[in-house]
């Protein structure tokens, strides 16, 4: 069976409020690297979008994800011999600790199938917020996961390439060993493209919920010339309160930018502060919408009445598949797909 036949039928329908405007960069045919992309059941929808963005340069491979009677994974790579001497990639999602072992099993197996090169795409690095040891006894699980991924076997072409979007702390790159080549990408270009489409784009101000977010992201907005607001967290007894450090939100459409959201408490406090200071509209962007325990339900929509009602938009990427399914067709959420950036990364 030819490798081209690995591609399943792809959906051509557009998902409501899913933007794929940031397309894969055009690759000259002579330089194009044809790739076979495998995926998990959770990332199938995103994998299909990646293949569509690549214009024939990426075909989709299949894995049978089964379980034995005792619950351990029973895995099978279909047409394994047809990927020899091919560029191969795997689109992972460690959205739940219970799925990591079965995916690690596949990740360790694919490079050993005599493939030309192997790229692991892990859009969201889930233990990124546990990167420090503050008290003796703390375990930095970000380091643990990085060590697991650093031991992926090499392919015939050399070390595994690892693609991650907006890892929580940039210093975490030093947790990875020399056996992998980490490529750290960002979802912010998706936001920049979306902001250019807004009717009130000339009144946009970018806000950061704390100094860490400003250090992390402000350089990506410099060339656009957006005014900026920096918030800070101060301690009031046992509580931490969000305060304005610098910037002016009055009569502006303020967009709060951060790498991820979990419970959403900080973003909701930032919204309340900015609305109280006269912002016309408040929106938010995070690359990773984790939202444990359906915490997304706390975010109310501003349907045009103003910032006091809620968020005008809440943009997030499709790095967390369960969240995409949960918030689809629900205001104020809008998905900015990573399909184009992933397709481009697979051509490097």
**5 located within any domain:** no
| Burial environment of residue 289 by CB neighbours within 10 A (0 to 12, 13 to 18, 19 or more) | buried
User: In terms of domains, do 179 and 56 share one?
Assistant: yes
Domains: count for the chain: 2
Instruction: Give the whole-number percent of the chain exceeding pLDDT 90.
Output: 77
Question: Which residue did the predictor score with more confidence, 19 or 312?
Answer: 312
Residue 194 sits in a domain of what CATH number? Answer: 3.40.50.2020
pLDDT at 32: 55
| Segment (H or E) for 340 | helix 339-345
Instruction: Give the helix, strand, coil percentages of the chain, each rounded to 5.
Output: 35, 25, 40
Note the pLDDT tens digit of each residue in 205-237: 999 999 999 999 999 998 899 999 999 988 776
Question: Which residue did the predictor score with more confidence, 88 or 18?
Answer: 88
**242 located within any domain:** yes
User: In terms of domains, do 30 and 140 share one?
Assistant: yes
Mean pLDDT of the chain: 90
Cα→Cα distances 237→102, 226, 234, 240, Å: 45, 35, 10, 8
Question: Which residue did the predictor score with more confidence, 294 or 170?
Answer: 294
Query: Quick one: which of 249, 296, 239 has its CA closest to 271?
Result: 249
Structure tokens at 6: 């690995």
State the residue range of the domain holding 28.
Answer: 24-185+340-346
User: In terms of domains, do 162 and 32 share one?
Assistant: yes
What average pLDDT does range 71-76 have in this prediction? 97
User: In terms of domains, do 67 and 174 share one?
Assistant: yes
Note the pLDDT tens digit of each residue in 298-308: 999 998 889 99
**12 located within any domain:** no
**335 located within any domain:** no
User: In terms of domains, do 148 and 283 share one?
Assistant: no
Report the alpha-carbon distance of residue 121 to residue 307 in Å, rounded: 37
pLDDT grade, residue 348 (50/70/90)? confident
User: In terms of domains, do 181 and 192 share one?
Assistant: no
Whole-prediction pTM value?
Answer: 0.88
User: In terms of domains, do 115 and 179 share one?
Assistant: yes
């Amino acid at each position: 069976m030819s490798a081209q036949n690995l591609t399943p039928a792809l959906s051509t329908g557009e998902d409501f409020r899913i933007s794929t405007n940031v397309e894969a960069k055009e690759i000259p045919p002579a330089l194009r690297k044809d790739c076979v992309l495998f995926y998990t059941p959770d990332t199938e929808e995103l994998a299909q979008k990646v293949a569509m963005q690549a214009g024939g340069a990426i075909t989709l491979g299949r894995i049978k994800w089964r379980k034995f009677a005792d619950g351990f994974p029973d895995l099978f790579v279909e047409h394994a011999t047809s990927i020899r001497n091919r560029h191969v990639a795997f689109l992972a999602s460690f959205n739940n600790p219970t799925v990591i072992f079965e995916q690690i099993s596949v990740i360790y197996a694919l490079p050993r199938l005599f493939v030309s090169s192997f790229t692991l795409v892990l859009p969201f690095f889930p233990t990124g917020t546990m990167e420090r040891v503050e008290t003796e006894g703390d375990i930095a699980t970000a380091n643990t996961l990085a060590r697991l991924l650093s031991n992926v076997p090499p392919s015939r072409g050399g070390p595994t390439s690892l693609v991650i979007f907006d890892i929580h702390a940039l210093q975490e790159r030093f947790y990875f060993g020399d056996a992998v080549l980490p490529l750290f990408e960002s979802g912010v270009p998706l936001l920049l493209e979306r902001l250019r489409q807004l009717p009130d784009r000339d009144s946009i101000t970018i806000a950061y919920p704390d100094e860490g977010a400003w250090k992390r992201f402000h350089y990506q907005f410099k060339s656009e010339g957006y005014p900026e607001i920096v918030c800070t967290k101060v301690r009031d007894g046992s509580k931490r309160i969000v305060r304005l450090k610098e910037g002016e939100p009055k009569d502006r459409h303020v967009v709060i930018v951060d790498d991820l959201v979990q419970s959403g408490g900080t973003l909701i406090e930032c919204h309340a502060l900015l609305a109280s200071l006269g912002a016309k509209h408040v929106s938010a962007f995070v690359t990773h919408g984790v939202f444990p325990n359906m915490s997304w339900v706390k975010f109310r929509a501003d349907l045009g009445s103003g910032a006091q009602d809620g968020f005008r938009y809440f943009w997030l990427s499709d790095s967390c598949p369960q969240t995409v399914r949960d918030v689809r067709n629900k205001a104020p959420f809008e998905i900015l797909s990573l399909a184009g950036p992933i397709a481009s990364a697979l051509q490097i």
